[in-house]
Amino acid sequence: MIKPVYWAAPKMDFGDNSMTSTQPDKQIDARGQQCPMPLLMAKRGLRELEPGMVLELLATDPSSARDLQSLQRLGGHKVETEVSETGIYRHTITKA
């Protein structure tokens, strides 16, 4: 079983128009994980949050953007995705 890795958010350049200026309530590092692990790690992380709280998930798997859009569609959560120049996807999920 793979456990999510929680970390102190490293400084990363996501451009000047980063989506969130506040700290998320929970952060999960899914970099290096392939589909479906980023989605499963996000679902596990959301279980611990109250509605309105924010989860930040970092991933390197391009299909994570598609997977998390389905999480938005089916679960009603708000999902925003940014991609850094180095290919890291930052998904900001607000729990419904």
Is 61 within a domain?
Answer: yes
CATH number of the CATH domain containing 82: 3.30.110.40
Low-confidence ranges of the chain (pLDDT < 70): 1-21
Instruction: Determine the pLDDT at residue 15.
Output: 53
Is 75 within a domain?
Answer: yes
Is 4 within a domain?
Answer: no
Query: How many domains in the chain?
Result: 1
> What is the value of pTM for the model shown?
0.79
Instruction: Determine the pLDDT at residue 2.
Output: 45
Is 3 within a domain?
Answer: no
pLDDT tens profile 55-75: 999 999 999 999 999 999 999
Is 39 within a domain?
Answer: yes
Question: Would you list the DSSP string of 13-50?
Answer: ---S--S--SPPSEEEEETTPPTTHHHHHHHHHHHTSP
The residue annotated as part of the active site, out of 35, 49, 65, 83, is 35
Is 10 within a domain?
Answer: no
Is 17 within a domain?
Answer: no
By residue range, what is the domain housing residue 49? 26-94
Is 12 within a domain?
Answer: no
90 phi, psi to nearest 5 deg: -110, 110
Instruction: Check if 35 is active-site.
Output: yes
Name the β-bridge partners of 89. 59, 83
